[in-house]
Structure 1
Amino acid sequence: MIPAHEEQRLYSRMQLDAKVILATTKERVEGICRNLSAEGVLMEVAAGKCQLGQEWRLVLPSADAGVEPLTATARVIRVEAGEQTDQVALVLSEVH
């Protein structure tokens, strides 16, 4: 494991355990955000719900009603399949 001070990424990651929603005009998937950075998200979703290259609208609701949710366009760049859940990495764009 690489110590935090040796991280090679441009942006540090924030560890989370928060609900996140992926949606298209035809589909909606809920999952758990495991970590978040300025450029991406690692999340856990039910197995088979996301495929490489898929594009979604991501919504990360705020715990505070006075704070707007984080929204972004998200593209799936990696899927690590599991028996019941998959680990899905998404790159973010158009973050609001």
Structure 2
Amino acid sequence: MAWVYLVIAGIFEIVFAVSLKYTEGFTKVFPTIAAIGGGAVSFWLLSLSLKTLPVGSAYAIWTGIGALGTVVIGMLFLGESRDLLKMIFLLCLLVGIVGLKVTSSH
């Protein structure tokens, strides 16, 4: 169950980061609520996963899911670049996330 918590925490990390873009310095109410709520849920689920998962691997995977997902959302919906080098580095990030999961002791 800890891995499920961790993956969902990573998804909420994406919600946090993307919502943060729209807060305009925390002056917009609904994006601010989404950012704070997404961040809070993400941290809470991360903390639940850390009851059994090693902190180093879990934190790196959580951060990686958030980073990877946020970049993909940016490319698909926010007009960010999709150049080949960026795709190669995203693939490296994905391989790192999967590698940490596979080599984790839990």
Larger helix proportion of the pair: 2
- Larger radius of gyration between Structure 1 and Structure 2: 2
- The structure with higher relative contact order (CA 8 Å, sep 6+) is 2
* TM-score, normalised with respect to structure 2: 0.24
Please, what TM-score do these two structures have when normalized by structure 1? 0.26
